[in-house]
């Protein structure tokens, strides 16, 4: 989630540097703020849903020349009542 926000900020900055119009820049910034607020709300809702879930994760790694590679992964989730 944080990566998406940072990517969004980078895109906003690059676009802002290309825009000469102050009004267009203000609209772009306003749009980005709305997007971040909506993303934050979705993240909070998702977090509250996942708090009621129990998850078991198992991962098997193989190390080759100092680089770890995932060989197998298994994820189990169950609702907690």
**What are the structural domain ranges in the chain?**
2-79
Asked if residue 60 lies in contact with residue 70, where contact means CB atoms within 8 angstroms, the answer is yes
Burial 9-37 (b: 16+ CB within 10 A, else e): eeebeeeeeeeeeeeebeebeeebeeeee
pLDDT in tens, 17-29: 666 666 666 677 7
Q: How many Å apart are CA 15 and CA 25, to the nearest integer?
A: 8
CA 8, distance to chain mean position in Å, is 10
| Region 11-20 average pLDDT | 66
Q: How many Å apart are CA 3 and CA 33, to the nearest integer?
A: 16
**pTM value?**
0.31
pLDDT in tens, 40-81: 666 666 655 555 556 677 777 777 776 767 777 777 767 665
């Amino acid at each position: 989630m944080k990566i998406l926000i940072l990517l969004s900020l980078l895109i906003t900055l690059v676009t802002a540097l290309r825009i000469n119009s102050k009004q267009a820049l203000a609209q772009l910034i306003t749009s980005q703020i709305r997007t971040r607020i909506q993303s934050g709300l979705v993240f909070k809702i998702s977090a509250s849903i996942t708090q009621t879930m129990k998850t078991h994760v198992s991962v098997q790694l193989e190390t080759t020349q100092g680089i770890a590679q995932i060989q197998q992964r298994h994820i189990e989730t169950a609702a907690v009542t």
